Chain A
Amino acid sequence: MLQVEHLTRRYGPVTAVDDLSFEISEVGVYGFLGPNGAGKSTTMNIMTGCLSATAGTVKISGYDIYDQPREAKRRIGYLPEQPSLYLGETPEEYLRFVGEAKGLRGETLRQQMEAVIEETGIGEMRSRRIDALSKGYRQRVGIAQALLGQPELVILDEPTVGLDPLQILDIRALIAALGKTRTVFISSHILSEVQTMCSKILIIARGKLVAFDTPERLEEQLSSPGEITVAADTGADAARALVAELPGAASVTVSEEGAGSCRLTVTAGGDDLYALSREIFRAFAASGSTLSELRVKKATLEDIFLELTEGGESA
């Protein structure tokens, strides 16, 4: 479906995309994560033929985006970060133009226009000028044009940016539905959004791919699976002694919180944080100390993102 090999893009002395390689061959929603300026939009622009690469290749269903652009682009639907809309036209006029440019004619064009209008829920707005539509509807019109021609690969650059919470939920539901039948490649810097929608995540930092896996497996790869916070009515030394003896505890940090009470942060040595939390509870109960708080904090996608993008390690 999508093959990116050794993709590099330089702007003078700055390397925006640095030897990027990955392959996507199944349908689903793929998240493209990275901090601002990591090279997400540049990569997407190269993948859609809007920008040239300094080196490397992009193939869509086996067709090279530069050597066979017409064949490759027929298989792509693209929504740029700022939707490319002719504001003086109605969604219907706009979709007709995009459909015709994609080679659709007559009844096929009419049917596909109706299908994407239905799919993106812009039926009521089809005859209004685009400049009179809300940002959410404009985004939907942009997605509708990307779906014309039944592309195998739909590339959406920050599809929910600037939308209100309700519109975000709508667009997320739409993308999740699209991902059931097509390969949808979305970029975002909203981690929760990617976690809820995507079956696989690509993380890019400083133009390099640093991770490409499912959210669950990325969590497993994290050096620290999480930590347990404990607040107890006992002395700091006694609390440390109780927890340090437990086999699952890798490290313990204790701070005194007034007379006869303390707070501990326990890092787990193994994967099962909940087993360690039960052990901590039993240890304090057996010693007769009162626990006022016992909280398990698992590693989130945010931790993974920070560890990978700040560490800059290679996938």
Chain B
Amino acid sequence: MKAIFTHELRSSFRSLSAWVFASFLLCFVGIGAMMYNIQAAVSNFEYVLSLSCLAFVVIAPILTMRVLAEERRQRTDQLLYALPVSTTEVILGKYAALLVLYLVPLAIIAVYPLIFARFGEVYLPTSYGSLFAFFLLGAALLAVGVFISSLTDNQGLAAGIGIAVILFNYYSVSLSEYMSSSALGSVIALVAISCAVGLLLKLLTGNGTLGYWTGFGLSAASIALYNLDREALEGLLPEIMGTLSLFERFYVFVNGVFDLKAVVFYLSVIAFFLFLSVQSLEKRRYN
């Protein structure tokens, strides 16, 4: 795993993606700090992070797009399969390298509250609690990006899908207000999600029968639930969209609450998408 980690680290710096990621992040946070902390003289550094998290929509896909897509395009994935390292080690090694690349600008950003504290009252626990959540939010988005990169050999497509997915997640709570809260709206959304899960399974396992039957089974269960207990489905769609929002949970930290449930949620998202990435690599061996 160490070999994969160091190789990925070197490749990221060589391909400039690490530099672009770090400079964009520092630029966003710098502009935010200038606006809030210097010009407006607000002592809450967490507001800067709250503003800057929009940057992830662009910079997370920039960093992750080449991670696995490039291996497939160059056919170096065949080398990785033939080396005495497991696919889990490949994914973990690459992901660890991305985290290190992410931690470099974050280490610089971590000095800002201390600097501002020299000139006024800064509540450091909230600042650093938010910074910790900012790290977890970014780490979860990077895991999503790694998985998207594993699905294609086209870096541009990986970046495009990544931006769309993160943007949707960013606005999911706002969008949920426009969604139908009726039982019918919920069941339609559940059927759509079931079909998406089925397609994802087909994509990951290469087994069409498994994918289609899973999608069909989940859809049938949703429709059955709709017929049996409509009340249980009322308001479910906006609730799901709110629950799946990674950004919404970050704002809890910005409001001064260290939410352990959110920490567990972020870690679960990371584990889930890294698991899917491993399965995506394994699937190529079987197809």
Partners in one complex: yes
Which residues does A use to contact B, with CB under 8 Å?
45, 48-52, 69-71, 73-74, 76, 78, 80, 82, 84-89, 93, 97-98, 100-103, 145
**Using an 8 Å CB-CB cutoff, how does the interface string of B1-17 with A read, 1 for contact, 0 for none?**
01110110011001100
6 new A-B pairs (CB below 8 Å) besides A86-B76, A101-B84? A48-B81, A52-B285, A76-B82, A80-B78, A97-B6, A100-B7
**Cross-chain pairs A/B with CB under 8 angstroms, 7 sampled:** A50-B78, A74-B84, A84-B77, A88-B15, A100-B2, A101-B84, A101-B85
- Give Cα distance in the complex from A97 to B15, angstroms: 17
When C-beta atoms are compared, the residue in chain B nearest to A97 turns out to be B7
Tell me if A102 and B84 are in contact (CB < 8 A): yes
Give the complex CA separation of A49 and B76 in angstroms: 14
B268 within 8 A of A: no
Interface string of B258-277 (1 = CB under 8 A from A): 00000000000000000000
Q: How far is the CB of B111 from chain A (nearest CB, A)?
A: 33
Contact status of A85 and B76, CB under 8 A, knowing A49-B81, A50-B81, A100-B6:
yes
Determine the distance from Cα of A88 to Cα of B14 in the docked complex, in whole angstroms: 8
Q: Indicate if B83 sits at the interface (CB-CB under 8 A).
A: yes
- Residue ID in chain A nearest B83 by CB atoms: A101
Bound: A103/B3 CA distance, A: 9
A103 CB to closest chain B CB (Å) equals 7
Q: Are B82 and A50 in contact (CB under 8 A)?
A: yes
Report how far A76 CA is from B82 CA in the complex, Å: 8
The yes or no answer to B286 lying at the interface (CB within 8 A) is: yes
Q: Does residue B79 face the partner (Cβ distance < 8 Å to A)?
A: yes
A103 to B4, CA, bound (A): 11
Please give me the residue from chain B that is nearest to A88 by CB atom: B14
Given the complex of chains A and B, what is the CA–CA distance between A82 and B78 in angstroms?
A: 10
User: Which of B4, B78, B83 has the most A CB atoms < 10 Å from its CB?
Assistant: B83
- Complexed CA–CA distance, A85 and B84 (Å): 17
Chain B residues 76-96 with CB under 8 Å of chain A are: 76-79, 81-86
Which residues of chain A are near B76, meaning CB under 8 Å?
Answer: 84-86
The answer for the CA separation of A30 and B74 in the assembled complex, in Å, is 29
A190 to B140 alpha-carbon distance, docked (Å): 51
Residues of B within 8 A of A101 (CB): 3-4, 7, 83-85
A34 to chain B, nearest CB (A): 20
Does B84 contact A51, Cβ atoms closer than 8 Å?
no
Whether B78 and A102, one on each chain, are in contact in the complex, defined by CB atoms closer than 8 angstroms, is no
Query: In the bound complex, what is the Cα–Cα distance between A78 and B82 (angstroms)?
Result: 7
Q: How far is the CB of B281 from chain A (nearest CB, A)?
A: 11
A40 to B81, CA, bound (A): 18
Chain B residues near A70 (CB, 8 Å)?
84-86
Q: Which residues of B contact A74 (CB under 8 A)?
A: 84
- Which of A71, A87, A93, A98 is within 8 Å of B83, CB to CB? A98
Q: Cα distance A69–B87 when bound, in Å?
A: 11
Chain A: minimal CB distance from B177 (Å) = 47
Instruction: Kindly provide the distance from the CB of A135 to the nearest chain B CB, expressed in whole angstroms.
Output: 15
- Quick one: given A88-B15, A97-B7, are A49 and B74 in contact (CB under 8 Å)? no
Q: A50-B285, A51-B285 are in contact. Are A84 and B79 (CB under 8 A)?
A: yes
Residues of chain B in range 55-85 having any CB-CB distance to chain A below 8 Å = 74-79, 81-85
- Contact in complex: A48, B82 (CB < 8 Å): yes
Known A73-B82, A73-B84, A84-B79: A52·B286 in contact at CB below 8 Å: yes
> In the complex, what's the smallest C-beta–C-beta distance from A7 to chain B, in angstroms?
15
> Would B84 and A84 count as touching, CB distance under 8 A?
no
Closest chain A residue to B93, Cβ basis: A101
Contact A84 B75 (CB under 8 A): yes
The answer to whether A100 touches B3 (Cβ under 8 A) is: yes
Cα-based distance from A86 to B78 in the complex (angstroms): 12
Contact B83 A82 (CB under 8 A): no
For B11, the chain A residues whose CB sits under 8 A away are 86, 88
User: Is A103 a contact partner of B84 (Cβ separation < 8 A)?
Assistant: yes
Task: List the A side residues contacting B74 at CB < 8 Å.
Answer: 84-87
- Indicate which residue in A52, A69, A97 contacts B84 across the interface (CB closer than 8 Å): A69
Docked complex Cα distance between A84 and B74 (Å): 7
B15 contact set on A, CB distance < 8 A:
88
The listed residue with most B CB atoms (<10 A of its CB), out of A70, A76, A84, A98, is A84
CA distance A64 to B263 in the complex (A): 41
Q: Write out the residue numbers on chain A whose beta carbons fall within 8 Å of the beta carbon of B78.
A: 45, 50, 80, 84
Q: Which residues of A contact B79 (CB under 8 A)?
A: 80, 84, 98, 145
Residues of A within 8 A of B286 (CB): 52
Determine the residue in chain A with the shortest Cβ distance to B1: A101
Q: In the bound complex, do residue A93 and residue B82 qualify as a contact, i.e. CB atoms below 8 Å apart?
A: no
* Complex Cα gap A74–B286 (Å): 21
What is the CA–CA distance of A80 and B84 in the complex, to the nearest angstrom? Answer: 16
Chain B residues with Cβ below 8 Å from A145 are: 79
* Chain B residues near A80 (CB-CB < 8 A): 75, 78-79, 82
CB distance from B214 to the nearest CB of A (A): 20
Inter-chain contacts of A50 with B (CB < 8 A)? 78, 81-82, 285
Bound complex: CA of A137 vs CA of B90, how far in Å? Answer: 28
When C-beta atoms are compared, the residue in chain B nearest to A142 turns out to be B79
- Residue among B2, B7, B86, B286 with the most chain A CB within 10 A? B7
